[in-house]
């Protein structure tokens, strides 16, 4: 099992949702934390609460991962402070719903920058240091959308497919290095992901952030390559692309996302 006690985890997108739940769960396991997100106030509030509850060392860094220079600046700041990252949780990400052409091109590029480019840069930097030490862990948050094309979430699903395949590939490359890599693929989760959309999904049809993180860390402890932390119905949908033509799956998913109200 990964040695959590006294180690340090870097969690991106830590100010809310899954990132906040990861921070809480890892603090409870005895880890010090580096909390990264754009919202300084939310990070400071979370840091204060976690310190009060667990007396851990908590470093807050306000970073916008849509800025291509941010991963390098983040790494340099941690090096300057002498902080070693033992577990990297690449959780930061966002998805723009609606027709692809309805969004400004720069918005779509920012989506790719956060979901893919920043994740790759952070994985490379901290993964390289972990491999040199002969130990460490990386958890990349993909999605149940990783397994199929998803109209009205086209770019988001494509970026998460990248995260899944990238994670599985580098896990193979790092086998025997002491660095454990895993992708986690949650389904609809009761976070702020659907804020600002006209989705008609009810929170009762979603998993909680806490349950997703609990199941993800259980899978990580079991040294799984991929975690499926959602309910059974979500897991079944990830298997459908193996059974039916991709064009059919795209139509099915397009109808489903439209029914959810994500085509606006």
Please list the active-site residues.
156, 160
Q: Which of 32, 50, 25 is nearest to 229 (CA)?
A: 25
Of the candidates 104, 72, 193, the residue with the CA atom closest to the CA atom of residue 144: 193
Q: Give the separation between CA 249 and CA 16, rounded to whole angstroms.
A: 32
Question: What are the tokens at 91?
Answer: 């959780």
Is the Cβ–Cβ distance between 65 and 39 less than 8 Å? no
Task: Output the six-digit token pair for 165.
Answer: 């395949």
Residue 172 burial (CB count, 10 A): 10
| 206: three-class secondary structure by DSSP | coil
The residue among 89, 141, 137, 136 whose CA lies nearest residue 115 is 141
Token output for 63:
């970073």
Interatomic CA distance for residues 260 and 125, integer angstroms: 38
The number of C-alpha atoms within 13 Å of 131 and in the hemisphere containing its C-beta is: 14
If we measure between CA atoms, which residue out of 62, 13, 11, 64 comes closest to residue 33? 11
Nearest-angstrom CA–CA distance, 194 and 228: 20
């Amino acid at each position: 099992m990964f040695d959590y006690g006294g180690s340090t985890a870097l969690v991106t997108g830590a100010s809310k949702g899954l990132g906040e739940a990861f921070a809480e769960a890892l603090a409870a396991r005895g880890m010090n934390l580096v909390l990264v997100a754009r919202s300084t106030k939310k990070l400071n509030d979370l840091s204060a609460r976690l310190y009060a509850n667990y007396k851990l060392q908590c470093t807050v860094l306000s970073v916008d991962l849509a800025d291509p220079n941010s991963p390098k600046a983040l790494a340099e700041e941690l090096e300057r402070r002498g902080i070693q990252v033992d577990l990297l949780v690449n959780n930061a990400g966002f998805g723009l719903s609606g027709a692809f052409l309805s969004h400004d091109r720069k918005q779509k590029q920012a989506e790719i920058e956060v979901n893919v480019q920043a994740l790759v840069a952070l994985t490379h930097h901290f993964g390289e240091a972990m491999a040199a030490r002969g130990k460490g862990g990386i958890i990349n948050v993909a999605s149940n959308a990783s397994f199929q094309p998803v109209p009205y979430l086209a770019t988001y699903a494509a970026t998460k497919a990248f995260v899944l395949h990238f994670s599985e590939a580098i896990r193979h490359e790092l086998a025997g290095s002491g660095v454990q890599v895993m992708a986690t693929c949650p389904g609809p989760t009761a976070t702020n992901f659907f804020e600002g959309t006209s989705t008609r999904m009810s929170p009762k049809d979603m998993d909680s952030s806490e349950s997703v993180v609990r199941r993800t860390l259980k899978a990580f402890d079991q040294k799984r390559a991929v975690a499926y932390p959602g309910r059974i119905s979500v897991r079944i949908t990830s298997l459908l692309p193996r059974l039916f033509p991709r064009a059919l799956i795209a139509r099915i998913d397009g109808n489903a996302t439209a029914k959810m109200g994500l085509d606006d």
